[in-house]
Amino acid sequence: MTVQPKIDAGARTGAGIDPRYMSGFGNSFETEALPGALPIGRNSPQKAAYGLYAEQLSGSPFTAPRSTNERSWLYRIRPSVKHGGRWSKCDRGLIRTAPCRDEADLPIGQMRWDPIPLPAEPLTFITGLHTVTTAGDADTQAGMAAHLLFVTASMEREYLFNADGEYLVVAQEGALRFATEFGVIEIGPGEICVIPRGVVFRVELSGGPARAYVCENYGGGFTLPDRGPIGANCLANPRDFLTPIAAYEDIEEPSTLYAKWGGELFSTPIGQSPLDVVAWHGNYAPYKYDLRHYSPVGAISFDHPDPSIFTVLTAPSETPGTANIDFVIFPERWAVAENTFRPPWYHRNIMSEFMGLIYGVYDAKPEGFTPGGFSLHNMMLPHGPDATAFEHASTSEQKPVKLTGTLAFMFETRFPQRLTGYAARSSQFQPDYTACWDGLKKRFDPNRREAW
Ligand SMILES: [Fe+2]
């Protein structure tokens, strides 16, 4: 086995940046694990250095506008056509793909689950991917799936790519190591990793068992939201996104390459590691981001802005301002607004909201929504603070308060999210969730104008 990562000459290695990564979002990166492996001034020389094969990976159509055009050039030991090819369909386990309408017969409603315990049996990234909701239609490249991920075993001589969408992995417990065609990414709780559509990877445990939430994005790739009047800084800053430097494996051993394609899982035998890219350049590559680098902007006088103010990444649709998916977080922050109901207000929403809690306490639901758990507030179904949070937020003195040690997130999509049978039948489903609003009593009195 040969793994020879080399620090890219252009990578920023000071200021706390791990030298295995390059800084920036959507940059045209270039990196090589052997000196001179990357052709200079051209993509496809007559003969590539070291006997490598040149290959392009396109994440957008060739003709996409320059601002959304995504592709990378990979210089690899074998071209991908030599990576197996005798495909057969295999058991997809608990992986589901939209459209997936008939698995759950629960009536509509606001829904919440306790954390599902980490299973005891060996589960890899593939067998540990348990789909909870699906939305839209993967074949039309619209919509998403939300998965819970339980990893209790590393993938060994196994590799995967997903043709149906990109994976956004939100680590919640334990650490995960993604060995990819482009290099190695490691994440722990509070960090995310994005693996673009089609990129081959293997997932290993860095320590004990790990748990994560995964958003599978069937649509156009995640990008940074425009900031509008916020200006040039804050929210998620491009410099905090990290893409790995090139690292390759020259391993000859019988292995299996899996492909998620059209909602099914296929496998092919392969005689070597497909993570054999010695050098690459381009703007289509996996990346990681530490959510604690997100610089939140909020109310400093009164009222509560829309939660879109906390958008980290957005996957746009063809309709301006209407996201296929928004990835939103609720991080540590100060609450200082005066004469204001500070928690998120009650509302109904055309967008469908899947929420999870990475750590800490979520201010609108101090009870019943615990780290590793999740909730679903689907299209046009009302939700908001529970009775305890309402009472507290309505009566407490409005001093500046710091919300500390908390990190919640939301996958919000324009499409309704359909429950899978796995989620509907889970014993962690909270049938009495809506009772959290039972204590909201009628306070109206037409003869008393002053607030209660
Ligand atoms: Fe909401």
Q: Which of 60, 92, 124 is nearest to 259 (CA)?
A: 92
Task: Give the residue numbers of the binding site for Fe cation.
Answer: 347, 353, 383
Three-state secondary structure call for residue 133 = strand
Average pLDDT of span 287-291: 98
- For residue range 4-36, list pLDDT tens digits in order: 444 343 344 445 567 799 999 999 999 999 999
Q: How confident is the model at residue 443 (pLDDT cuts 50, 70, 90)?
A: very high
CA of 87 to the centre of ligand 1 (A): 43
Average pLDDT of span 192-212: 97
Ion ligand 1: residue ranges with CB closer than 5 A:
353
The fourth-level CATH superfamily of domain 84-276+284-291 is Jelly Rolls (2.60.120.10)
In the chain, where the domains are located = 84-276+284-291, 296-430
> What does DSSP assign to residue 362?
B
Task: Give the residue numbers of the binding site.
Answer: 347, 353, 362, 383
Q: How far is Cα 2 from Cα 438, in angstroms, rounded to an integer?
A: 61
Q: How confident is the model at residue 156 (pLDDT cuts 50, 70, 90)?
A: very high
Decide which of 3.40.50.720, 1.10.3720.10, 2.60.120.10, 3.40.50.880 is the CATH code for 296-430: 2.60.120.10
Instruction: Report the pLDDT value the prediction gives residue 124, as an integer from 0 to 100.
Output: 98
CA of 352 to the centre of ligand 1 (A): 8
CA of 255 to the centre of ligand 1 (A): 44
Concatenating the DSSP letter of every residue in 312-361 gives EEEEE-SSTT-EEEEEEEE-SEEE--SSS--SPPPB--SSEEEEEEEES-
Average pLDDT of span 135-141: 98
pLDDT, greater one: 276 or 1: 276
For the CA atoms of 128, 134, 136, 141, what is the dihedral angle to 10 degrees?
Answer: 0
Element (H, E) at 423: helix 421-424
Q: Which of 289, 296, 285 is nearest to 329 (CA)?
A: 296
CA of 353 to the centre of ligand 1 (A): 6
CA of 403 to the centre of ligand 1 (A): 19
Q: How confident is the model at residue 451 (pLDDT cuts 50, 70, 90)?
A: confident
Q: What strands lie across the sheet with 352-359, from one edge to the other?
A: 111-113, 374-377, 352-359, 407-413, 323-330, 311-316
Q: How many CB atoms lie within 10 A of CB 40?
A: 7
Q: Answer yes or no: is pLDDT of 225 > 50.
A: yes
Contacts of 281 (CB under 8 A, 6+ apart): 28, 29, 30, 31, 38, 72, 73
- For residue range 311-324, list pLDDT tens digits in order: 999 999 999 999 99
CA of 383 to the centre of ligand 1 (A): 6
Average pLDDT of span 408-437: 97
Average pLDDT of span 381-405: 94
Average pLDDT of span 50-59: 98
Task: Give the residue numbers of the binding site for homogentisate.
Answer: 362, 383
Q: Answer yes or no: is pLDDT of 2 > 50.
A: no
CA of 316 to the centre of ligand 1 (A): 19
Instruction: Report the pLDDT value the prediction gives residue 268, as an integer from 0 to 100.
Output: 98
Instruction: Report the pLDDT value the prediction gives residue 15, as an integer from 0 to 100.
Output: 52
Instruction: Report the pLDDT value the prediction gives residue 17, as an integer from 0 to 100.
Output: 62
Instruction: Report the pLDDT value the prediction gives residue 55, as an integer from 0 to 100.
Output: 98
Q: How confident is the model at residue 368 (pLDDT cuts 50, 70, 90)?
A: confident
pTM for the full model? 0.95
Q: How far is Cα 322 from Cα 326, in angstroms, rounded to an integer?
A: 9
Write down the mean pLDDT value for the chain.
94
Percent of the chain past pLDDT 90, that is, above it, reads 91
Q: How far is Cα 64 from Cα 108, in angstroms, rounded to an integer?
A: 39
Q: How far is Cα 286 from Cα 191, in angstroms, rounded to an integer?
A: 14
Q: How confident is the model at residue 367 (pLDDT cuts 50, 70, 90)?
A: confident
- Residue 258: C-alpha distances to residues 14, 83, 149, 201 (Å): 38, 11, 17, 10
Average pLDDT of span 117-132: 97
- For residue range 161-198, list pLDDT tens digits in order: 999 999 999 999 999 999 999 999 999 999 999 999 99
User: Which active-site residues does the annotation give?
Assistant: 304
